[in-house]
Structure formats: structure tokens, C-alpha cells
Amino acid sequence: MSETQEKPALMTRPIPAPVVNVESQPFWDAAREGRFLIKRCVPCGKAHWYPRAICPFCMSGETVWEESPGEGVIYSYSVMHRSPTGPYAIGYVTLDEGPAVLTNFVGVAPDGLTIGQRVNVRFQDTEGGPPVPVFAPA
Amino acid sequence: MSIKGKAYIMGAYEHPLRDAPDKSTPQLHAECARGALEDAGLTKDDVDGFFCAGDAPGFGALSMIDYMGLKNVRHMDSTETGGSSYIVHVGHAAQAIAAGKCQVALITLAGRPRQQKGGGGRGGGGGEPAPEAGFENIYGGSTHNTYGMCAMRHMYEYGTTSEQLAWIKVAASHHAQWNEHAFLKNVVTVEEVVNSRMISDPLHLLDCCVVTDGGGALIVTSPEVARSLNRPKVKVMGAGEAPKGPRGGLDLDLTHSGAVWSGPRAFAEAGVTPADMKYASIYDSFTITVLMQLEDLGFCEKGQGGRFVADGNLISGVGKLPFNTDGGGLCNNHPTNRGGITKVIEAVRQLRGEAHPKVQVPNCDLAIAHGTGGSLGTRHGSATVILEREA
């Protein structure tokens, strides 16, 4: 028997290729370059998530892509234990720009997450699709 | 135009099966429809309004109207708000009746999720992926972990505990022991709930509802038709509905449900308050669903739900607010992963005095049936109806 205590495994989760459409294509093109984009409305000035061509706050069609450092805090999370590929964490990150982003948390043990914890974005490869944003403790 | 007193629920039927390997989904819909019509004392030719949601196969209302041979339908509604659809339908049926669009409305739900893994009808999609799909569906969201996020945040903000959530399952199990059809009939303790296997933090196995086949149906009629029938009359007093979602990510708030809007609308229309309710049917996909909805409907202050449900307060004959006296989705059934219709059915039983004697609320004359559909952690619909027994 080993004397060393086993370190809890860090969570990862295989992620399928995302649906990409003409509206979201620029996001995924940037993701392939490791850049995280969010959408901001020019007239009302508000950033939103998930990205839309039409602003969900004022309905303006004048929305622009903006590069984000992808930093924020965990709003909530839940670790799913009933999974064939091991436990994985889903949760919302409140970006410093304001919007909350649904995501997976990676590179952390199942008991290593807390609400309010600072996290930042990284990109994870998918099966045959563009890489997708996931978050890990900062 | 208010619907208060403009329509009556005169027929209700819950399919007795919890496993239906030998029946088709349309067959279950039709058996439920037949059961509700017989309960009301009506025939299918009396039906002139038909309501169904995304669980109905094929072309939904069109396919089912044809399958059942309903030849006098002049009003159709397939509003799809997940498991709350059928509570929405009660309100819509009352509106249609009040507007003279129909006199006998049939609402059906049926499905076989135990035979078709993951087969709970979602509906409303039209084949195109949801607009959020590329940015959300990839993360392995399920009902368990999205509701888990709600529970996690509720615990963080209000100090709610797993033991408090467990009381909701304990109460449901106390009721289910008297229901011969209940999928789970064993009475459980708080300790058994919190010691059951963790599914998605902080929700344990026994915080989750059952998955069953089956279905249910309701008949909503005009006052004129109601008076002609030899059945206790359950009057629709008020209805409210509301959608809720992250709204661009700036309004994410997982500790509140759409009940904060649908509830007050229904209470205002009925002219009553939560304190007047003798019985509550509350959609119980998970224990946290019940706790949040009780708060949002005004049965207690926000954040006090844990204290409110503790110590058996939801157990009929024991606590202040008897809930889900059939055992609910947590113990009785959850046909096609959509519980809205069963909430209305048990409320009707209570108001008629036809609930099991061990759980029947004495002099039950005013009840609420409420539900959410979709996902509490992302986008959901909320629906509330207030029902009154007419002497």
C-alpha cells in the first residue's frame, strides 16, 4: 500500500463539437485563435451572453464583437457525479464585464470549487469542431 | 378579461400505469382522455377544444385529434412550456371558454420515458437547434445539475441545508404510502435522504423525482356544461403564467423562479392570498424546486423556505400546508418527465374530497396548483392556477 495520500483527480470532460451558425461563426473563428469574444450593443452599451446579432436588452441590430480577458467569479456550480467519464462541474461565471456564462470548470478537483471563486477562461478542444471556452480557477 | 369563475374542471384522470411497455404513446393519450371524459360524464363528441404540449407525438394536436377521432374541435392550443404546459393549458382553456371559443376543453399528457431512454418530449423545436445550443448544450447540462446549481446558490445565499430539503421528500413519502399506484411507497427519513448517493451537488438521489410512464387528462368546461353534469364542481378562480431565463446574462438569478410573477397574477385574479390555501400542489421535479416555489408564491419569506418545510410542515394532518398528497413527482409519478398535469389532478381530488382518506384535507375548498417547466437553472416557464370547490 502506498504511503502517499492520493490527490483527488482534476476534472476534465470530453466536449462535443458545438453547433456553429452564421450568427456565431466569428466567435468560433476567434476561439480557434485562443481569443474569447463577447457581444456588446453599441446604442445601449451593454454586454450580453450568449452572443446575439440582436441586442437582448434594446433590440438594436448594432452589436459588435469585443475581446474579453475571460475573467470573473463563480456564481453557482454543481458537480455531476453520475457520468461515464468521471465527475464534471457545470456552472455559471459572472464575467467582469457583467454577463453570466454557462460553462464547465476544469483543472480542479470535484471538491475544489466555491461560489465567489475567481476563474478565467481557457479553450478546450472538441471532437471535430472548434475549441470551446471552459473556466479554471485563476 | 378575468377568467374568475368562467370555467370549471369537471373531469380528471391519472393513468394508473407507471411502466407501460405494451402501450403506445398515442394510446396512453387516448386512454387518459377517455378516463377524464368518463369521470366528467361526457363523450368525445362533446369535446370542442383540445390542448396538448410537446409530449404529443407527430403533429401534436393535429395528430392526436385525428387519432382520437375528435370531430367537433373548434379551438386548439399546443402551448409548450415544458412540464408546466398543462397548468398553462388550464388557464388558456378557461380563457377560451370565457371568450366563447369552446365549451368542453380536453387537456392530455402522456409518455413512456421508461421505454424510450431520454424520451421525454421537449417539443416546440421545429427541427432547428435552440439559439443558445452552441454556447450551452455542449456543457453536459441536465435537469439534475442545472437544478443542482439552483440549490447550491440557494444554500449560499440563505443558508438552506440538505436536511431542510430532505423534509420535502419525507413529506411526499408520507403521502405516497397511501397511494396504491405510487412508484415509491416507502416512507423515508431525513437521514435516508441526505445519506443517499450524491447525484449532482448538492442534490442526492432522494432529492430527485421518479421517472415513470403514464399520463393524465383534464376536462375544463363552461359553467353551463358544468351545471349539467352530476359531479362536484371545481371552479377556476385565477391563473398566471410567466417565462424566466438568464436574459442576456445580466439578470441571472438562480434563487428565484418565474413563480414570483405567475403566482401574484393568479392570486390577484382569484382575489385570495397564499394564507387562504387549504392545499398546495407544487411541482416537485426536485426538492429544491418545491422550496423555491413555496417562497416565490409567498407561502413564506424569501430564504425562509428551509425553515418552512422542516419538521413535517408539508405533511397532511401534521403541518400547516399539506402538499402533493398523492406523493407527487418525488414518489408517485412523473409521466414523460412532465409533472404539471398530475399537480392539477390531485388538487381536483382534494377539492372534491376524493383524495385518500389518510391524506384528505378536511373541508378543502381552496387549492393552488403550480409548476415550472424547462429548467429552473436556465430557461423555464412558470404557471399557477387557483381552484375552488363550489358548494
Write down the ipTM of this complex.
0.94
How large is the average pLDDT for residues B362-370?
98
**B288 contact residues in A (CB cutoff 8 A):** none
Can you tell me the distance from the alpha carbon of A88 to that of A109, in angstroms, rounded to the nearest whole number?
Answer: 9
What are B119-155's pLDDT values in tens digits?
Answer: 444 444 456 889 999 999 999 999 999 999 999 999 9
Residue B173 lies in a domain: yes
Confidence check: pLDDT of A39 > 80: yes
CB contact A36 to B (< 8 Å):
no
Can you tell me the distance from the alpha carbon of B121 to that of B124, in angstroms, rounded to the nearest whole number?
Answer: 9
Count of Cβ atoms closer than 10 Å to residue B366 Cβ: 18
Residues B188 and B284 grouped into a single domain: yes
Nearest-by-CA chain A residue for B141? A90
Residue B126 lies in a domain: no
The share of chain B scoring above pLDDT 70, in percent, equals 97
Confidence check: pLDDT of A25 > 60: yes
Confidence check: pLDDT of B282 > 90: yes
Task: Say which range, A42-46, B117-121, B202-206, has the weakest mean pLDDT.
Answer: B117-121
CB contact A60 to B (< 8 Å):
no
**A95 contact residues in B (CB cutoff 8 A):** 249
CB contact A21 to B (< 8 Å):
yes
Is the Cβ pair B140, A90 closer than 8 Å?
yes
Q: Please tell me the predicted confidence (pLDDT) of residue B117.
A: 63
Confidence check: pLDDT of B100 > 90: yes
**B152 contact residues in A (CB cutoff 8 A):** 76-78, 115
What are A82-102's pLDDT values in tens digits?
Answer: 999 999 999 999 999 999 999
Task: Indicate the pairing of strand B8-14 with strand B233-244.
Answer: antiparallel
**A48 contact residues in B (CB cutoff 8 A):** 248-250
Domain that residue B312 falls in:
141-209+237-390
Q: Please tell me the predicted confidence (pLDDT) of residue B119.
A: 43
Residue of B202, B204, B189, B215 whose CA lies nearest to B121: B215
Is the separation of the CB atoms in B281 and B384 below 8 Å?
no
Residues B110 and B163 grouped into a single domain: no
What are A107-124's pLDDT values in tens digits?
Answer: 999 999 999 999 999 999
Is the Cβ pair A80, B254 closer than 8 Å?
no
Residue B2 lies in a domain: no
Residues B308 and B330 grouped into a single domain: yes
Residue of B150, B127, B78, B145 whose CA lies nearest to B107: B78
SS3 state at A48? strand
Residue B333 lies in a domain: yes
Residues B154 and B283 grouped into a single domain: yes
Residue of B330, B372, B355 whose CA lies nearest to B182: B330
Residue of B74, B75, B64 whose CA lies nearest to B34: B64
Residue B3 lies in a domain: no
Residues B271 and B223 grouped into a single domain: no
Nearest-by-CA chain A residue for B202? A78
Nearest-by-CA chain B residue for A20? B134
Four-CA torsion A86, B160, B184, B334, nearest 10 degrees: -80
How large is the average pLDDT for residues A50-58?
97
Domain count, chain B: 2
Residue B219 lies in a domain: yes
CB contact A61 to B (< 8 Å):
no
CB contact A20 to B (< 8 Å):
yes
Instruction: Determine which helix (DSSP H) or strand (DSSP E) holds A52, and give its type and residue range.
Output: none
Residues B250 and B377 grouped into a single domain: yes
Confidence check: pLDDT of A1 > 50: no
- The DSSP bridge partners found for residue A16 are A127
Residues B190 and B174 grouped into a single domain: yes
**B148 contact residues in A (CB cutoff 8 A):** 78-80
Residues B161 and B173 grouped into a single domain: yes
**Residues with Cβ within 8 Å of residue B63, at least 6 apart in sequence:** B26, B56, B57
Residues B282 and B344 grouped into a single domain: yes
Residues B193 and B225 grouped into a single domain: no
Residue B132 lies in a domain: no
Residue B378 lies in a domain: yes
Helix/strand/coil (H/E/C) assignment for every residue in chain B: CCCCCCCEEEEEEECCCCCCCCCCHHHHHHHHHHHHHHHHCCCHHHCCEEECCCCCCCCCHHHHHHHHCCCCCCEEECCCECECHHHHHHHHHHHHHHCCCCCEEEEEEEECCCCCCCCCCCCCCCCCCCCCHHHHHHHCCCHHHHHHHHHHHHHHHHCCCHHHHHHHHHHHHHHHCCCCCCCCCCCCCHHHHHCCCEEECCEEHHHECCCECEEEEEEEECHHHHHHCCCCEEEEEEEEEEEECCHHHCCCCCCCCCHHHHHHHHHHHHCCCHHHCCEEEECCCEHHHHHHHHHHHCCCCCCCHHHHHHHHCCCCCCCCCCECCCCHHHHCCCECCCCHHHHHHHHHHHHHCCCCCCCCCCCCCEEEEEEEEECCCCCEEEEEEEEEEEC
Q: Mean pLDDT over all residues of chain B?
A: 96
Is the Cβ pair B250, A92 closer than 8 Å?
no
Residues B315 and B195 grouped into a single domain: yes
CB contact A25 to B (< 8 Å):
no
Task: Indicate the residue of B134, B156, B249 with minimum beta-carbon distance to A101.
Answer: B249
**Residues with Cβ within 8 Å of residue B285, at least 6 apart in sequence:** B83, B143, B147, B208, B209, B329, B334, B339, B372, B376
What are B2-44's pLDDT values in tens digits?
Answer: 999 999 999 999 999 999 999 999 999 999 999 999 999 999 9
Is the Cβ pair A18, B135 closer than 8 Å?
yes
Task: Indicate the residue of A76, A94, A104 with minimum beta-carbon distance to B140.
Answer: A104
CATH code for position B198: 3.40.47.10
CB contact A58 to B (< 8 Å):
no
Min Cα–Cα distance to chain A from B136, Å: 6
Is the separation of the CB atoms in A123 and A31 below 8 Å?
yes
Residues B313 and B175 grouped into a single domain: yes
Is the separation of the CB atoms in A91 and A103 below 8 Å?
yes
